[in-house]
Amino acid sequence: MTATGQAQRHRPPGTTGPGALRCTGLRYSFGSTRAVDGVDLDVRPGEVFGLLGPNGAGKTTAIRVITTLLPVPAGMVEVFGHDCARERMAVRRLLGYVPQQLSADSGLTGRENVALFARVFDIPRRERADRVDAVLAAVGLTESADRLAGTYSGGMVRRLELAQALVSAPRLLILDEPTIGLDPIARTSVWEHITRVRVATGMTVLVTTHYMDEAEQYCDRVALMHRGRIRAVGTPEELRTGLGRAALAAGQTAADPSAAEPSATGPTVTEPTGPAGPTGPTATAPTLEDVFRHYAGSGLDGRESTEDGGDFSDVRRTRRTASRVG
């Protein structure tokens, strides 16, 4: 773990006031496809919360409801106490959003892209130039600010999109697959910039990722989502430890069934549907990937397809942020 990751993980999230994000019984369907099927989430102020799940799990749909881009057809969603159905503008003012799809314009310079977002977010004209400069500096793009975004590398594009989302000084930053397709150095760079801003501002971060190592390193807590539902919630360590206990129990004929249950301080687990991960007391310590396979019933290694034929490995191989510009 990097020093930055350590600093982030050990920074205690705030516990007072309304939750940064609360979802209760959230559902969303596209025709007969139930993309989000009764999601409960409670993201605490100041924490980095990871929403993990395979292709088609419903992560982006849930995020689009939270960001008010989709209506709330069933359930309740609140951002810092503001209802996403009834107070959409108040919610939008609190949010920064880096969507899964490209949100930068290749025909504009980095600075022009961020300035556009500053106008959209109605930042007072006299403050705009300073705010744009500040967020470009915060993501390490000062030197490249006046180049066309179409000339940026994939990592620079993602950092530009981060600057666009940060220009409104959000209290809740939502990142949908912020590092997909980036090389390890670019991924680390994106996370280090997120971390630095988060530590400086105390903002809350909700992130989706397919990269278990990132979840492990940078997220205070994670929720495992599969087929529209949350299967387990906890710190990465709680989830791994919980699975270790379950594996031990599975390997002992006189096992205490409570060994697989969440402890008072451990993960919250709902409906484990998959096959057990490690199967005996001699199994090596479970990874977050093992935990995911256990609770969601689909592998991260490409050996089992998900409902729409994709898997984490496919996503890693095929999506290239860099190729999305230009």
Q: Which residues bind to ligand ATP, rule: CB under 6 A?
A: 30, 33, 35, 53, 55-61, 100, 308
Residue 61 interacts, among Mg ion, ligand ATP, none and using kind-specific CB cut-offs from 5 to 8 Å, with ligand ATP
Structure tokens at 158: 């993602």
Residue 168 within binding range of Mg ion, rule CB under 5 A: no
| Closest C-alpha among 46, 57, 85 to residue 202 | 46
Would you say 14 or 310 has its CB closer to ligand ATP?
A: 310
To ligand ATP, the closest distance from the beta carbon of 105 in angstroms equals 22
Cα–Cα distance for residue pair 43/226, rounded to 1 Å: 18
**From the CB of residue 250, how many other CB atoms can be counted at a distance below 10 Å?**
18
* 325 φ, ψ (degrees, to nearest 5): -110, 145
State the nearest-atom distance from the C-beta of 100 to Mg ion, in Å: 5
Closer of 271 and 308 to ligand ATP (Cβ): 308
| Binding to Mg ion in span 90-109, by CB under 5 A | 100
Cα–Cα dist 166/173, whole Å: 8
Interacting partner of 57 out of Mg ion, ligand ATP, none (Cβ under 5 to 8 A depending on kind):
ligand ATP
Nearer to ligand ATP, 6 or 318 (CB): 318
Q: Find the shortest distance in angstroms from Cβ 238 to ligand ATP.
A: 23
- Minimal distance in Å, beta carbon 214 to Mg ion? 15
Q: At a CB cut-off of 8 Å and minimum separation 6, what does 105 contact?
A: 112, 113, 116, 149
The pair phi, psi for residue 170, each rounded to 5°, is -70, 150
Closest C-alpha to 223, from 206, 244, 204, 247: 206
If the CB atoms of residues 68 and 241 are measured against ligand ATP, the closer one turns out to be: 68
Sheet containing 21-30, strands listed edge to edge, beginning at the edge strand earlier in sequence: 33-43, 21-30, 74-79, 82-83
In the bound state with ligand ATP, the residue whose beta carbon lies nearer, of 56 and 299, is: 56
Task: Looking at residues 58 to 77 of the shown chain, list those that interact with Mg ion (rule: CB under 5 A).
Answer: 59-60
Tell me the closest approach of the beta carbon of residue 100 to ligand ATP, in angstroms: 6
Smallest CA-to-CA distance from 43 within 62, 82, 15, 70 is with 15
Q: How far is the CB of 244 from Mg ion (least distance, A)?
A: 30
Q: Which residues are at the interface with Mg ion (CB under 5 A)? A: 59-60, 100
